[in-house]
Structures are given as structure tokens and as C-alpha cells.
Amino acid sequence: MKSIYSAARDFFVLTVLSIGLAIVPHSALAQDATLNTGNTAWILTATALVLFMTLPGLALFYGGLVRAQNVLSVLMQCFAIACLASVLWLIVGYSIAFGDGGGAQPWIGGFGKAFLTGVDADALAGDIPETVFFMFQMTFAIITPALIVGAYVERIRFAHVLLFSGAWLILVYAPVAHWIWGGGFLADLGVLDSAGGLVVHATAGTSALIIAVFLGGRRGFPRELIPPHNPGLTMMGAAMLWVGWFGFNAGSALAADGSAGMAMLVTHISAATASLVWVVIEWTKFGRPSLVGIVTGMVAGLATITPASGFVGPAGGLVLGLAGGVVCYYAVGLIKTRLKIDDSLDVFAVHGVGGILGILLLAPFAATGLGGLGLPVGTSVGGQLVDQLIGVMVTVAWSAIATVVIVVAVRALVGLRVDPESETEGLDLTAHGERSYNL
């Protein structure tokens, strides 16, 4: 009788996990007896690509957009966040996101896998080594707080960057990752997010907007517009982001298969479409297109397709790129011109708005009637849209509340904004004792 009970229990657990894998590509993976070397090789490659997005891609993209006296500070912030996030992911972040939380499973993964306890070289996550899955997820945990850098460049204390980013990773990113990819309550609700429209872009975008409000604008904002010091540097970083994003989206299939191929295809189409849309809008309004504009459009297209990349077809990629280019372009003006919030490098308008837009458009364009790969069995477009909207509201609310608490606490410890003299002279010299250019 005991063996029959055990067999029934195991069958039930495997069935539930299989259903979860079919719906949520990043969900916590069960052990499997067979290692798939092809899938392992692809996820190893995708891991390197996603890290390439942050170092050097995002760092150079942001570095070219600031004044010359602040380039090194941006590079330093991105690099330091990458190091800090890596260590925290090992200590506790991975366990919170993908551990077994027991009774707290809907909310938090627990601490059973802190320091990768119980994970050796032979441990598997599905059909790839768990160490590889850990590393792949670590690169997501690295780039997400690094995205927020764009909101506070040129005026924030470096100590605040470190403390804020570390606390934010543990209190915002890791729990939200668990809710959606680790078998938490949003996954149970049916929220779909292939590669991070909510987990990455909505969290980072929302928090960027909050911290920009706390900081206030750069000196002279909004009367004086500060032009990027090196658009060429920004374009080089953007090109690295475009290439690295294939690891981001296609790697989220966690397999070297047709789903990964389709994710790569729609990612590229969306980026190209949004870039062209941004160019057309600028050309029409100002009489000439800009390099910064076309690469910003590219990022908007990538952010918009990210949550839907595992669910939509080529037509969906085209439409999401079109929508992302238009909506994100006007969101930039709304935030800076109408609301007068100095989200300096448009983190919320591009990443936040793009990711949320992609989450919502996923519902109709995942349907087979519009060329998608299909919604979960028994789910209508309207029902899925409701689930997606709930996911957006929960994620944005938690990100905003937690960010306010973190910013206030860290400000009390180390301060928030540098003094006016340091801001004028530039953070490269005043915060780090180095210069970007010795001319």
C-alpha cells in the first residue's frame, strides 16, 4: 500500500511540473535522469550572450548618453552591480527565486538553496545541469538592477547605488521572479512572461521612475537639455544589446529547438521594426533622424517583444515592434516634458512601458488565429488578458512600494544625491578619481 501511495504521489508531482513547464518557460525545473548536451551547450552560449548585454553592451549604451565627465561613473556602476548581483545570487537570490519554499511557495522560494546548498556538478534542472540554469538566471539578475542605472546617472552617490541595488535584487527582483518563473502565485494564476516583461522590464522601469522622483532632475532640467557626449559609443553598446538579446529571449526556451528559433526570429523582427518606426517619427517631426533615436527604438522593440517572444509568431513580432516603437516614443515625451520627471536615459518609458505593453499584447497575439503558438488549453484571449493585467498591477505595485522603502532606508544610511559641486565637475573625478578622456 505504501509503494502504491508513493507511486501515485510521484505521478501527480511529475504531472503538475510538466504542465508548469509547458506554460512558464523559466519555472523551477524538476530533476530529470538524462542530460541533454545540445540543450546544455545552447544555454551555456545564451548565458554568455546575456552577460554580454550588460558588460559591455548596456554599460557602453548608457555611457555614450551621459556627459563626458560622467562616462566612467556609469561604467563603474554597471560593472559593480554585475559583481554584487553575482555574489548575492549565490548567497540567497537564487534560492528565493527558484528554491522550494515549502508552505511559503506561492510567495518566496525559501532559503534551502542558499549558497547552492545541495547542488553539485551532477544535479540537473530539467535536462541541463542546475549549475548552468543557475548561471543563466544569474545573468538576468545582473542586468535587471543595472537597467535602473539609466534613471539616476550623473547625480547619485556610489554607495547608494551599491546598497540600493543589493537590497532591490533581494526584495524586488528575486520574489517577482519566483512569483512568475519559480512556481509562485502569478504562475498559478496563469500569467505568461516568456523572458521578462514583468520580471525584468516592469520591475526595473517602475523602480527607475520612483528613484528618479526621489532624486530630482539633473541641474538645469528640464530647461537645459544635456546632449549625449558620444552617440557612436551608444550605438556600439546598442549593437551588443541586440546580439545579446538573442540569448535573453531564445535562451529562455531552455532548449535548442524550434521554440528557441522562433523566439530569435520574432526578437529580431520586433527590434528592426521599432527602430524604423522611431526613425520615421523623428524624421517627420524634426526633419532628420538621429542615431540615438534609431538605437533607442531598437531597445523599445526588444523590451516589447521580450515577454511574448516564446508565444507569438512573425506577424506578432512585427506588430509588437510597431506598437513598441510608437508607444515608447511618446512615453518618453510624456515622462520628461509633461510630467517633468528626469528619468535620465528613459528607463521607464522604454523598458517599463515596452515590457508592460508586450505583456498585454501577448494575450491576443499568442492566439493561433493571429499566428501565435497558442494559449494554454481552455484559456480565451479575454481571460488571458485579465490574467496579464493582474500580473502587471501586482508587479508594478510591489516594485513601487518596495523601492520607496529601500530608497528611504538607504538615503538615511549613506545619503542619496551628490553635492552640487560634484555634480557640476562630474562623478568620474569626484567619486572615482579618474577621467574618461585626457585631452
pLDDT tens digits, one per residue of 89-106: 999 999 999 998 766 688
Count the Cβ atoms, other than its own, within 10 Å of residue 68: 16
In a domain, 152, yes or no: yes
Judged by DSSP in three states, 125 sits in strand
CA distance 360 to 362: 5
Based on the structure, what is the number of domains in the chain?
Answer: 1
In a domain, 18, yes or no: yes
CATH number at residue 278: 1.10.3430.10
CA distance 340 to 330: 14
Domain range spanning residue 337? 2-432
Contacts of 8 (CB under 8 A, 6+ apart): none
Q: What DSSP assignment string belongs to 273-322?
A: HHHHHHHHHHHHHHSS--HHHHHHHHHHHHHHHGGGTTT--HHHHHHHHH
pLDDT at position 439 is 64
In a domain, 438, yes or no: no
CA distance 338 to 343: 13
Residue 389 CA to its chain's centroid (Å): 18
Is the pLDDT confidence value at 202 over 70? Answer: yes
Closest to 302 measured CA to CA, from 252, 374, 359, 249: 249
CA-derived radius of gyration, the chain: 21
188, 24 in Cβ contact below 8 A? Answer: no
Judged by DSSP in three states, 327 sits in helix
- The backbone region for 138, taken as left when phi is positive above 0, alpha when psi lies in -120 to 50, beta otherwise, is alpha
In a domain, 237, yes or no: yes
Tens digits of residue pLDDT in 218-255: 998 988 878 999 999 999 999 999 999 999 999 999 99
pLDDT at position 25 is 43
**Cell matching residue 406:** 529601500
Average pLDDT, the chain: 92
pLDDT at position 132 is 98
Is the pLDDT confidence value at 146 over 70? Answer: yes
**Cell matching residue 31:** 530533476
**Cell matching residue 340:** 517633468
Contacts of 378 (CB under 8 A, 6+ apart): none
Tens digits of residue pLDDT in 23-71: 344 444 444 459 999 999 999 999 999 999 999 999 999 999 999 999 9
In a domain, 419, yes or no: yes
In a domain, 428, yes or no: yes
In a domain, 439, yes or no: no
In a domain, 22, yes or no: yes
For the chain, give the percent of residues with pLDDT over 90. Answer: 87
**Cell matching residue 400:** 513601487
